[in-house]
Structure 1
Amino acid sequence: MDVGYWWSLLGLVAFFHGMLPREVKEAVNKWFHVLKSYLDPYMRYEIPEFENSSCNELYKTVHLHLNATDMCKVANRVILTRIHNSSRTCSNLAGGESVEDTFEGKKLWWRHSVHKVQGESVRGRGSQEVQERVYTLKIHKRDRDCIIPLYIDHINARAVGYKHQNREMKLYTNSKTSSMYSGGRHMWQSVPFKHPSTFDTLAMEPDSIARIKGDLKSFMEGKDFFERVGRAWKRGYLLYGPPGTGKSSMIAAMANFLKYDVYDLELTQVFSNTELRQLLIQTTNRSIIVIEDIDCSINLSGQRSPKARSRRGKDGDKDPLGSDELEKLKEDETSRITLSGLLNFTDGLWSCCGDERILVFTTNHIEKLDAALLRPGRMDMHIHMSYCTFPAFKILAHNYLMIETHPLFPTVERLLDEGKRKVTPAQVSEILILDKDDPDLVMEKLIAFLQQPEEKLPENSAADESRNSQKKKKKKRKKKEKKRKGKKRGLSCTCEISHKFF
């Protein structure tokens, strides 16, 4: 007996339905629904926007999943929306619209229903009409047990990734004010991160860029791997090279590629290892923690402090500390973090308090860093930001001049390969930007610049000058202190002589 026969029978029963008594009608309705559910091969799951006056997170998940897969584009009516703090327009199914999805070779259908219902009274104004939104998932009964749990996990992962890719990124910094006056609750201050640097605009060897992007992608997808090998889900990068080679642009490109927030940690504003741990705890997952000019922030030469050094000389005699060393010891104990604290920050137990974190250190002088800081596990990948090469120059020429080739390119390549004058990408950029509308003139100026003898650069970089100025200030304070002590000694000596004289 085919299905058509049963539907004909149901239609006949419905015709005589109005002529039956109430008790019979209820019994018929009951059996009618049972028979209908038996004949219907599909199962339906309803996902309302609100459940018991609370927001249903699964409803939002489905909404983001439909946007991530662009399934809404095939619908006849679509509602356009925009996620908070996002520049991307999203689409949502209008009421009554439905779309088809496929998972593990099985077909599923989504339908968005919007109904008007009477809501609760507001401030004595009586009940108001509100909209009730519900997503309905239709799936074949034979498939529900084998794909429903997996499908829910699939749409949840897709929704989380879509939300992460379209959110507003933040740039955080720590300051002395935030750590002193916030009671330890809010030690970071943030602004929107809008840096335009990407790997496509970065002046660097294409092979190096591909290697870095591959390493970052492997890190993002390595949750199961890090759990299996028993390592914290983090990775360290050391960017080293002369000033102007694009270390800060590299950090911005990494953040834009990963869509991670950036925490710019200023170590000169951190006055203890405890405070350093507190700052680490308050960083979020999926973030990049940056310490720029690490060699100028604290003493990382590997030498132990006067307190940790042996107080005895070669012959076993006591080696008392001088006044200068004692003064330096007091300053270190009260106002500076230690190398040990920084190592624990990067690879100690406290470094495991979050997932998907990247630590990036930058330096102009890698030889000044302690070997313990450079080992794998702390700085897993060392990236040398070198002087401008011809492949890097071609990227700059494309970015600034919008040209892929030029008759003077071979001359520029020869001069850069000869290395008569070493130039950084920042120096080349400054020349290209001056006359960006006239590529011929720019190329002539660049060649003239490369043919000039290399200027003698100052021995100290800007960071070194800052450190030297701090040393000069310390010397001045010491001289003032000695003068003050000298005056006191002179006064006491005068008093003693006067006493003896009388």
Structure 2
Amino acid sequence: MKMEVWSNLGSILATLIFIRSVVREYFPRELCDLFSKSLRRLLGMVSSYISVVIEENDGMKVSEVYEAVQTYLSARSSSAAERLKLKKPKNSRDFTFSMDSNQRISDKFEDIKVRWAFHSIELSQKTRSPWNPGSDEKRYYELKFHKKHKHKIFSEYLPHVITEGKNLELRSRNRKIYTNEYRYWTSVVFDHPATFGTLALETEQKQEILEDLERFSKAEKYYRQVGRAWKRGYLLYGPPGTGKSSMIAAMANFLDYDIYDLELTQVKNNTELRKLLVATTNKSIIVIEDIDCSLDLSDRKKKKKPEKDSEEKEKPSEPSKPEENEPKEDSKVTLSGVLNFTDGLWSCCGSERLFVFTTNHIDRLDPALLRSGRMDKHILLTFCKFGAFKTLARNYLSIEDHELFPEIQDLMEAVEMTPADVAEHLMKTSGNPTSALQSLIEALRDAKERRATAPLNGSISEENTSATAQGEA
């Protein structure tokens, strides 16, 4: 009985298709279009499948959904499609594949099978879009699935495709580092080699930072649930030469984020600062290095009010010399503007962003800038310990152990030296680990002797100065 029904249904469909071809051949175009629409409606009533069309153009620009679907299917089409298109987008690091016209591939989502097809139709002069006159093709993807899965496809599968497509695009593109020129950002390709594997940090501290970053990158639902903008602030502080800039580069490489290196002295006022913030993208790190030197963001309680002495009034005023850390005269960015930039209403104009400030003198900063919600995690990058030294020895000398290591460990417990200074000694004699380690030992011994012979009240400051002088130079 079932075979007879299907046979009759097949005959009916074949007859309808034959009629459609005859109509197209001998009847006016308006009647043909009406018949085609009626036929499609009839076939849709009989069919158990639904088709969703995702067109390339969304008005005057390319549809974001179309681009996300194209990226999502690129990895799958390379192994499933019979004919592929190969290209290398301008901002991508790798080649990408896409389906050629009229190619079909299958996909699976939680035991639901779907089929994707790519279509490209050549347009006549009359049918070209007035919004995109240069396009001579209509390109679109078609998703086909069974009706019984309609709810799950719309509520779960399509959002999964779009999210995964955007993530794949971010991972494959060339990341960039931006700098501001007044109201605008300019960029170059960011290709810094620093990773957490090469950072000179103690293992426990490195692991703690990695876990915090990974937890943040997966916490979109949590931040929305608690009613907070999806952002996090990091303050990196410590002496010069302890790896603050390398830490930022390692963060960007670990998360695949762009970097916006903000120079506050180039910003005229708080309004321009907000405009720069709005122009940043999601999945980015907004950096202000040496924030204590950029503007007057020092602790308001420690500022002394100028004493007005009558004798001083009578003295002729001398031209004041600009201080090294004094901002440019045309910059009117205030502490309040920076606070609102990091934690005000405008800070939520975007998501999945890190605000990273660096300073050599944390005690100079206003406490309002340091509180949780603005700088959520304070990371002290200090002098080189033995664990960090072993990372440097592996990076620069390709060794895991050496007979001179015990002596170096003893000296590092007694002497403070920055990772930058340690690295400089390890680089002096390429290809000869023993000579490099001996050079480091001599420098550590000299620092230890200076500390022993220096006056008690100035020993620490003198040692810190000598240990960091080479890194600052």
Q: Does 1:7 align with 2:7?
A: yes
TM-superposition CA deviations, 1:221-276 (whole Å, max 9, x none): 33332233232332211111111110000111112222333222233444544554
TM-superposition CA deviations, 1:140-196 (whole Å, max 9, x none): 12212332332221111112222222333332333xxx43xxxxxx34333332222
* Long gaps (5+) in structure 1: 180-185, 312-317, 467-502
Q: Does 1:293 align with 2:293?
A: no
What amino acid is aligned across from residue 382 of structure 1 in structure 2?
H
Q: Does 1:446 align with 2:440?
A: yes
Instruction: Report the counterpart of residue 214 of structure 2 in structure 1.
Output: 217
Give the counterpart of 1:154 among 156, 160, 164: 160
Instruction: Report the counterpart of residue 368 of structure 2 in structure 1.
Output: 372
d(CA) in 2 for partners of 1:320, 1:348: 43
Give the counterpart of 2:187 among 187, 190, 198: 190
d(CA) in 2 for partners of 1:376, 1:136: 48
TM-superposition CA deviations, 1:2-44 (whole Å, max 9, x none): 246522673599599989xx89x99x99999788656643333
1:70-469 pair list within 5 angstroms = 70-116=76-122, 118=124, 132-174=138-180, 178-179=181-182, 186-270=183-267, 272-299=269-296, 300-303=298-301, 337-416=333-412, 418-419=413-414, 421-454=415-448, 456-457=462-463
d(CA) in 2 for partners of 1:457, 1:52: 66
d(CA) in 1 for partners of 2:148, 2:345: 49
Q: Does 1:60 align with 2:95?
A: no
> CA offset at residue 427 of structure 1?
1.6
What amino acid is aligned across from residue 214 of structure 1 in structure 2?
E
Contact 2:236/2:359 (<8 A) preserved: yes
Against the structure 1 CA distance between its residues 378 and 71, is the aligned structure 2 distance closer, same or farther, given a 3 Å change threshold? same
d(CA) in 1 for partners of 2:240, 2:263: 18
> CA offset at residue 428 of structure 1?
2.0
Against the structure 1 CA distance between its residues 117 and 197, is the aligned structure 2 distance closer, same or farther, given a 3 Å change threshold? same
d(CA) in 2 for partners of 1:53, 1:90: 25
Against the structure 1 CA distance between its residues 34 and 320, is the aligned structure 2 distance closer, same or farther, given a 3 Å change threshold? same
What amino acid is aligned across from residue 252 of structure 1 in structure 2?
A
Q: CA RMSD in A?
A: 4.2
Contact 2:233/2:373 (<8 A) preserved: yes
Contact 1:96/1:113 (<8 A) preserved: yes
Against the structure 1 CA distance between its residues 353 and 429, is the aligned structure 2 distance closer, same or farther, given a 3 Å change threshold? same
> CA offset at residue 77 of structure 1?
3.0
Against the structure 1 CA distance between its residues 14 and 267, is the aligned structure 2 distance closer, same or farther, given a 3 Å change threshold? closer
Which stretch shows the higher mean deviation, 210-219 or 240-249? 210-219
d(CA) in 2 for partners of 1:216, 1:349: 24
Against the structure 1 CA distance between its residues 213 and 286, is the aligned structure 2 distance closer, same or farther, given a 3 Å change threshold? same
SS of alignment partner, residue 191 of structure 2: coil
* Long gaps (5+) in structure 2: 27-31, 451-461
d(CA) in 2 for partners of 1:427, 1:395: 14
Instruction: Report the counterpart of residue 489 of structure 1 in structure 2.
Output: none
SS of alignment partner, residue 300 of structure 2: coil
Instruction: Report the counterpart of residue 497 of structure 1 in structure 2.
Output: none
What amino acid is aligned across from residue 302 of structure 1 in structure 2?
R
Q: Normalising by structure 2, what TM-score?
A: 0.76
Which stretch shows the higher mean deviation, 440-449 or 81-90? 440-449
Which stretch shows the higher mean deviation, 429-438 or 356-365? 429-438
Contact 1:120/1:128 (<8 A) preserved: no
1:29-44 pair list within 5 angstroms = 40-44=47-51
Contact 1:244/1:424 (<8 A) preserved: yes
Against the structure 1 CA distance between its residues 383 and 46, is the aligned structure 2 distance closer, same or farther, given a 3 Å change threshold? same
Against the structure 1 CA distance between its residues 277 and 322, is the aligned structure 2 distance closer, same or farther, given a 3 Å change threshold? farther
Contact 2:426/2:436 (<8 A) preserved: yes
SS of alignment partner, residue 362 of structure 1: strand
What amino acid is aligned across from residue 360 of structure 1 in structure 2?
V
d(CA) in 1 for partners of 2:135, 2:186: 43
Q: Identity rate of aligned residues, in percent? A: 43
Aligned residues: 435
d(CA) in 2 for partners of 1:73, 1:51: 29
d(CA) in 1 for partners of 2:162, 2:418: 46
Contact 2:266/2:331 (<8 A) preserved: no
> CA offset at residue 294 of structure 1?
2.2
TM-superposition CA deviations, 1:51-71 (whole Å, max 9, x none): 78864443322111113x545
d(CA) in 1 for partners of 2:243, 2:378: 15
Instruction: Report the counterpart of residue 480 of structure 1 in structure 2.
Output: none
Against the structure 1 CA distance between its residues 106 and 248, is the aligned structure 2 distance closer, same or farther, given a 3 Å change threshold? same
What amino acid is aligned across from residue 300 of structure 2 in structure 1?
G
Contact 1:119/1:128 (<8 A) preserved: no
Which stretch shows the higher mean deviation, 280-289 or 56-65? 280-289
What amino acid is aligned across from residue 173 of structure 1 in structure 2?
T
d(CA) in 2 for partners of 1:55, 1:350: 28
What amino acid is aligned across from residue 178 of structure 2 in structure 1?
Y
> CA offset at residue 208 of structure 1?
1.7
d(CA) in 1 for partners of 2:223, 2:275: 24
> CA offset at residue 132 of structure 1?
4.6
Against the structure 1 CA distance between its residues 404 and 91, is the aligned structure 2 distance closer, same or farther, given a 3 Å change threshold? farther
d(CA) in 2 for partners of 1:52, 1:342: 38
Give the counterpart of 1:45 among 44, 52, 69: 52
